[in-house]
Chain A
Amino acid sequence: MVPASWYVALSAALFSMGVLGVLIRRDPLVIFMSIELMLNAANLALVAFGQRHGTAEGQALVFFVMCVAAAEVAVGLAIIVAIFRVRRRLSVDELNLMRW
């Protein structure tokens, strides 16, 4: 068996890529994809820790994360499409209407 720490290290690397994508990119679609990367990293860590502890509970949690991710992507993409209809441009930097 591959030790659990390898999976956790890979999960951390994947999560960092997601954070970098959210911070660096300006296209809201790519930012959403980076959020998916982070959710996947969390899923991977959950399954790895569950196997390390010898239960399937981590996998049950991943099931819920998947449901939340599906709902989040659907709502998020609808919001992006709605913004695009009003603004005709896509850049998160311009969406500072609610900024203090």
Chain B
Amino acid sequence: MSVVAFAILAALVLVSGAGVLVKRNPIHAALFLVVNLASVAGLFLTLRAEFLAMAQVIVYAGAIAVLFVFAIMVLIPGKEETGPDPLRGQRVMAVPLVMIFLLLVALVLRSSVLRQPGPDVPVPGGVEEVGRLLFTDYLFPFEVTSVLLLVAIVGVLALARRKVGTE
């Protein structure tokens, strides 16, 4: 059962990831990204990480996807990949280098540690377990996260603000 779910979700992840890569129109790429993020949320569910699956849908497939679509709406898409390519060498080298990376990962995956089955009872990943960790062992990083988000808000406002008198 879990193998079937994994296979379906993995196929969705790979197909939608390829869609983000090959689609010329950024809005299509954004929609493929939503499918990809939702499939990863499903994979989190198969790993018994219920809290993260919900957070993934809300934060990524909700907020971040909307942010992308807004940015595409504000900008004018579809002007990409015209004219001469000044970085042709980089684009030609990209595929073989990624293949080398995948080969290295395949070598690592052959190690026996990962092949052994995990614990019989999977760890519960609900709000209770993650919340306890966040508010005990990871309390300080959790508080730093709030500062980071505040800095991001202020930075975005400073960047996106139109200067009075210049426009």
Could you tell me which A residues sit within 8 Å of B by CB distance?
1-10, 12-14, 16-21, 23-27, 29-30, 32-34, 36-37, 40, 43-44, 47-48, 50-57, 59-60, 62-64, 66-75, 77-82, 84, 89-91, 93
Residues from chain A with a CB closer than 8 A to the CB of B91 are: 23-24
Given contacts A4-B114, A29-B72, contact A82 B105 (CB under 8 A): no
Residues from chain A with a CB closer than 8 A to the CB of B2 are: 1-2
CB of B52 within 8 A of CB of A29, answer no
Q: Which applies to chain A's interface (DSSP): helix, strand, loop or mixed?
A: helix
Report 28 cross-chain contacts, Cβ distance below 8 Å, ordered by A residue: A3-B118, A4-B114, A7-B6, A9-B109, A12-B101, A12-B102, A14-B13, A16-B101, A17-B18, A25-B21, A26-B81, A29-B26, A30-B26, A44-B43, A47-B44, A47-B47, A59-B49, A66-B55, A67-B145, A69-B59, A71-B149, A71-B151, A71-B152, A73-B64, A74-B67, A74-B152, A90-B76, A93-B86
Residues from chain B with a CB closer than 8 A to the CB of A54 are: 118-119, 123
Q: Which applies to chain B's interface (DSSP): helix, strand, loop or mixed?
A: helix
Residues from chain A with a CB closer than 8 A to the CB of B44 are: 44, 47
**Chain B interface, number of residues (Cβ within 8 angstroms):** 83
CB of B159 within 8 A of CB of A82, answer yes
CB of B105 within 8 A of CB of A43, answer no
CB of B115 within 8 A of CB of A5, answer yes
Given contacts A47-B52, A80-B71, contact A64 B125 (CB under 8 A): no
Q: How far is the CB of B155 from chain A (nearest CB, A)?
A: 5
Residues from chain B with a CB closer than 8 A to the CB of A12 are: 101-102, 105, 109
Given contacts A4-B118, A14-B17, A70-B59, contact A59 B125 (CB under 8 A): yes
CB of B20 within 8 A of CB of A17, answer yes
C-alpha gap A40/B114 in the complex (Å): 20
CB of B21 within 8 A of CB of A34, answer yes
Given contacts A66-B56, A78-B160, contact A8 B49 (CB under 8 A): no
C-alpha gap A93/B81 in the complex (Å): 10
Q: How far is the CB of B107 from chain A (nearest CB, A)?
A: 11
Q: How far is the CB of A91 from chain B (nearest CB, A)?
A: 7
C-alpha gap A23/B41 in the complex (Å): 26
C-alpha gap A9/B101 in the complex (Å): 12
